[in-house]
């Protein structure tokens, strides 16, 4: 079979599986739509959480970023992994014990205020739409190359697929679909990594292969070889860092605390029976996530080495088929500046003739390494599974924010369960359309867009949730003021330094880097906005009365472990 036939076969089988699961597990009640009925096993929830967590940014873009910026790309690994630990240990059990479907629901009840609920809904929509834009972009990238359609058409196809199982199945359908998607994406990520590790170093374990000697018998370590290749072309050494320490810290912290405020991940802990199962599923999810996250740096090294050796100083006419396939998508661009027909791939922008999009590195890796056609097809299916699983989770957050937190809790309290279910499905449909627009007009490569979503979550939700759990004196006025202040500051910074809105548009963005506040990039500014949120919250809190006694009592209760204080029989 040809490569294209393999791709159609593998992608077709996985899509049929997702749709069949959605039909089998379609939601019949609002509880099934929002939290899968609350009866998911810890193992299934752990896999679903891992799939929800490992989005297109993790599967497609993270290794791509690391492969181009080397050591500095480690901030994404540290931030996202550390953030999950923070969420699992510090927040998930308490939120589960509080017993609310959504983050705006928690904030609305904890801060005894519909104003707080409304602000939380707006923040949830900003975070979710920013995040889902990256997922739809990832879907478009995969479709454009592997199904040989343009990126926009790929986004439209992805919209239809995700709309079908997210709107029909709700959280119940999404949960069991995500279990299947985790299996697909992790298999698709690991198989080529193992193949290429054996090919390049003779070691079948990618994490060890990355630090091993190359298989040509020279005794040269693979990372030393890559450092040499990079410096020859004028790039920084792959294993050396160029980011400032404060920016590394800020990005890592923003990704960590942003994780703890991500609505689509938090809601997963409401789909299990009890707090104990929430803790178990959190631990299992961390194990499942670690498999991919520890492999990503190895894939980055393999892909970067293979790319440089394939294209640098080679005649354009001799480029393999994969190169021209990606050229057609616009994600590889070659301009023969000196008209000698030889590709000059160098760091100097004036003489460099090749531009490679970060987002293709994982997807093109099997083709660059000349792996079997079925492996290439598997990676295509894995990329789609990663993007679609997270997109579905985000769409559910958007629909529940509108139907449950706004409509049911505030606008129309007497709405029937059937009416609320219809409202959730209609809002999910609207969300898919908006997400599709952002997928067609993305503000950057996948991981950069997703990193901004984490910054928004850090700036808005994290202080309100932490203070809501651990500081019973925290009142509604402080929480609302902090969320608004943090989100507005983050929005201003992103619009100014990421999009150049106030300074002449995107063309001015590169020049504006020297004006970053404290030397911190937009991806890391969520840390500063979060600190500002804390300061505003705690300051305003002092000028208003403490929460009602019953609210303070609830805060005390959610911190007491289940079963504490009960007599033990011997």
Residue 85 domain boundaries = 25-221+241-302+372-558
Structure token digits, residue 562: 């289940």
Give the integer Cα–Cα distance in Å for 490 and 179. Answer: 34
Per-residue pLDDT averaged across 52-81, rounded?
Answer: 81
Per-residue pLDDT averaged across 66-74, rounded?
Answer: 86
Residue 539 lies in a domain: yes
Residue 343 lies in a domain: no
Between 163 and 520, the more confident residue is 520
3-state secondary structure 79-117: HHHHHHHHHHHHHHHHHHHHCCCCHHHHHHHHCCCHHHH
Distances (CA, A) of 285 to 52, 63, 110, 166, 298: 10, 20, 28, 21, 21
Structure token digits, residue 359: 């987002």
Element (H, E) at 450: helix 446-470
pLDDT at 299 over 50: yes
Give the integer Cα–Cα distance in Å for 402 and 124. Answer: 10
Between 435 and 37, the more confident residue is 435
**165: confidence class by pLDDT, cuts 50, 70, 90:** low
pLDDT at 564: 47
Residue 258 lies in a domain: yes
pLDDT at 383 over 70: yes
Mean pLDDT, the chain, whole residue set: 81
Per-residue pLDDT averaged across 79-89, rounded?
Answer: 80
Least confident of 152-161, 481-490, 526-535: 152-161
Evaluate whether 553 touches 543 at the Cβ level (below 8 Å). Answer: no
Q: Name the region of 474 (left: φ>0; alpha: ψ -120 to 50; beta: rest).
A: beta
pLDDT tens across 171-182, in order? Answer: 666 777 778 888
Element (H, E) at 333: strand 332-334
Q: Which of 27-41, 346-360, 423-437 has the highest mean pLDDT?
A: 346-360
Q: What angle do CA 292, 296, 302 make, to 5 degrees?
A: 135
pLDDT at 547: 92
Please report how many Cα atoms fall inside a 13 Å half-sphere around the Cα of residue 16, on the Cβ side. 6
Nearest CA among 105, 465, 496 for reference residue 259: 465
DSSP state of 441: S
Evaluate whether 202 touches 210 at the Cβ level (below 8 Å). Answer: no
Number of domains in the chain: 1
Q: Which of 72-81, 152-161, 312-321 has the highest mean pLDDT?
A: 312-321
pLDDT at 380: 83
pLDDT at 168 over 70: no
**565: confidence class by pLDDT, cuts 50, 70, 90:** very low
Between 389 and 217, the more confident residue is 217
Residue 32 lies in a domain: yes
pLDDT tens across 474-512, in order? Answer: 999 999 999 999 999 999 998 888 877 777 666 777 778
pLDDT tens across 458-475, in order? Answer: 999 899 999 998 998 999
pLDDT at 388: 72
Per-residue pLDDT averaged across 323-342, rounded?
Answer: 85
Please report how many Cα atoms fall inside a 13 Å half-sphere around the Cα of residue 526, on the Cβ side. 30
Per-residue pLDDT averaged across 218-237, rounded?
Answer: 90
Structure token digits, residue 100: 């609310």
Least confident of 266-270, 283-287, 370-374: 266-270
**570: confidence class by pLDDT, cuts 50, 70, 90:** very low
* Three-state secondary structure call for residue 567: coil
Structure token digits, residue 261: 């405020």
Between 48 and 405, the more confident residue is 48
pLDDT at 569: 41
Q: How far, in whole angstroms, is CA 43 from its chain's centroid? A: 21
pLDDT at 14: 84
Residue 259 lies in a domain: yes
Give the integer Cα–Cα distance in Å for 132 and 388. Answer: 10
Structure token digits, residue 171: 């959280």
Q: How many CB atoms lie within 10 A of CB 292?
A: 24
**149: confidence class by pLDDT, cuts 50, 70, 90:** confident
Per-residue pLDDT averaged across 515-523, rounded?
Answer: 88
**566: confidence class by pLDDT, cuts 50, 70, 90:** very low
pLDDT at 391 over 80: no
Between 493 and 446, the more confident residue is 493
Give the integer Cα–Cα distance in Å for 124 and 417. Answer: 23
Residue 2 lies in a domain: no
Give the integer Cα–Cα distance in Å for 290 and 189. Answer: 12
pLDDT at 537: 96
Q: How many CB atoms lie within 10 A of CB 335?
A: 9
Contacts by residues 142-146 (CB-CB < 8 Å, ≥ 24 positions apart) = 142/60, 142/363, 142/380, 142/383, 142/384, 142/387, 143/384, 144/329, 144/331, 145/325, 145/326, 145/329, 145/331, 145/360, 145/363, 145/364, 145/380, 146/7, 146/11, 146/363, 146/376, 146/377, 146/380
Q: What is the CATH number of the domain that holds 109?
A: 1.20.1730.10
Supply the DSSP string of 110-179, one letter for each residue: HTT-HHHHHHHHHHHHHHHHHHHHHHHHHHHHHHHHHS---HHHHHHHHHHHHHHHHHHHHHHHHHHHHH
Least confident of 137-151, 486-500, 546-560: 137-151
pLDDT at 33 over 80: no
* Three-state secondary structure call for residue 342: strand
* Three-state secondary structure call for residue 36: helix
Nearest CA among 115, 96, 94 for reference residue 479: 115
Q: What angle do CA 309, 311, 313 make, to 5 degrees?
A: 90
Nearest CA among 508, 400, 401, 391 for reference residue 453: 391
Between 448 and 323, the more confident residue is 323
Q: How far, in whole angstroms, is CA 222 from its chain's centroid? A: 29
Q: Which of 289-298, 369-378, 450-459 has the highest mean pLDDT?
A: 289-298
Residue 398 lies in a domain: yes
Residue 129 lies in a domain: yes
Least confident of 157-166, 278-287, 377-386, 441-450: 441-450
Give the integer Cα–Cα distance in Å for 266 and 261. Answer: 8
pLDDT at 482: 96
pLDDT at 224 over 90: yes
Structure token digits, residue 351: 């003489």
pLDDT at 34: 55
Percent of the chain at pLDDT > 90 equals: 18
């Amino acid at each position: 079979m040809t490569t294209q036939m393999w791709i159609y076969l593998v992608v077709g089988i996985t899509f049929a599986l997702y749709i069949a699961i959605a039909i089998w597990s379609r939601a019949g009640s609002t509880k099934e739509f929002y939290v899968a009925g609350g009866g998911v096993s810890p193992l299934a929830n752990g896999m679903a959480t891992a799939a929800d967590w490992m989005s297109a940014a993790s599967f497609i873009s993270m290794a791509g970023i690391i492969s181009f910026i080397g050591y500095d790309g480690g901030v994404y690994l540290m931030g996202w992994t550390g953030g999950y630990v923070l969420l699992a240990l510090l927040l998930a059990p308490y939120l589960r014990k509080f017993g609310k479907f959504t983050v705006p629901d928690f904030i609305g009840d904890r801060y005894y205020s519909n104003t707080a609920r409304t602000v939380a809904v707006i923040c949830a929509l900003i975070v979710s739409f920013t995040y889902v834009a990256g997922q739809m972009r990832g879907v478009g990238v995969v479709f454009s190359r592997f199904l040989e359609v343009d990126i926009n058409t790929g986004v439209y196809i992805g919209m239809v697929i995700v709309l079908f199982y997210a709107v029909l199945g709700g959280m119940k359908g999404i949960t069991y679909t995500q279990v299947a998607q985790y299996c697909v994406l992790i298999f698709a990520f690991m198989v080529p990594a193992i193949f290429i590790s054996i090919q390049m170093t003779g070691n079948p374990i990618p994490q060890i292969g990355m630090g091993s000697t190359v298989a040509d018998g020279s005794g040269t370590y693979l990372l030393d070889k890559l450092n040499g290749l990079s410096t020859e072309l004028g790039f920084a050494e792959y294993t050396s860092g160029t980011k400032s320490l404060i920016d590394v810290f800020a990005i890592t912290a923003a990704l960590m605390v942003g994780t703890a405020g991500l609505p689509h991940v938090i809601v997963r802990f409401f789909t299990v029976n009890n707090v104990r199962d929430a803790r178990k599923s959190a631990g299992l999810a961390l194990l499942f996530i670690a498999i991919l996250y520890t492999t990503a740096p190895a894939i980055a090294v393999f892909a970067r080495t293979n790319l440089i050796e394939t294209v640098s100083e080679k005649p354009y006419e001799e480029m393999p088929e994969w190169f021209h396939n990606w050229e057609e998508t616009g994600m590889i661009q070659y301009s023969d500046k000196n008209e000698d027909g030889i590709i000059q791939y160098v760091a100097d922008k004036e003489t460099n003739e090749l531009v490679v999009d970060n987002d293709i590195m994982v997807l093109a890796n099997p083709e660059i390494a000349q792996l079997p056609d079925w492996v290439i097809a598997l990676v295509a299916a894995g990329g789609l599974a990663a993007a679609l699983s997270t997109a579905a989770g985000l769409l559910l957050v958007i629909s529940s924010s509108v139907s449950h937190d706004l409509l049911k809790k505030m606008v129309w309290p007497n709405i029937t369960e059937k009416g609320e279910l219809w409202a959730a499905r209609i809002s999910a449909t609207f969300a898919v359309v908006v997400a599709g627009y952002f997928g067609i007009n993305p503000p950057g490569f996948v991981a950069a867009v997703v990193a901004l979503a984490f910054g928004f979550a850090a700036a808005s939700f994290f202080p309100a949730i932490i203070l809501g759990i651990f500081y019973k004196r925290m009142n509604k006025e402080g929480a609302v003021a902090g969320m608004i202040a943090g989100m507005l500051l983050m929005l201003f910074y992103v619009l100014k330094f990421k999009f150049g809105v106030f300074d002449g548009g995107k063309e001015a963005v590169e020049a504006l880097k020297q004006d970053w506040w404290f030397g911190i990039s937009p991806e890391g500014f969520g840390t500063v906005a979060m600190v500002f949120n804390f300061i505003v919250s705690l300051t305003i809190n002092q000028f208003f009365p403490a929460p009602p006694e019953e609210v303070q009592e609830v805060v005390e209760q959610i911190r007491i472990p289940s079963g504490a204080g009960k007599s033990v029989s011997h």
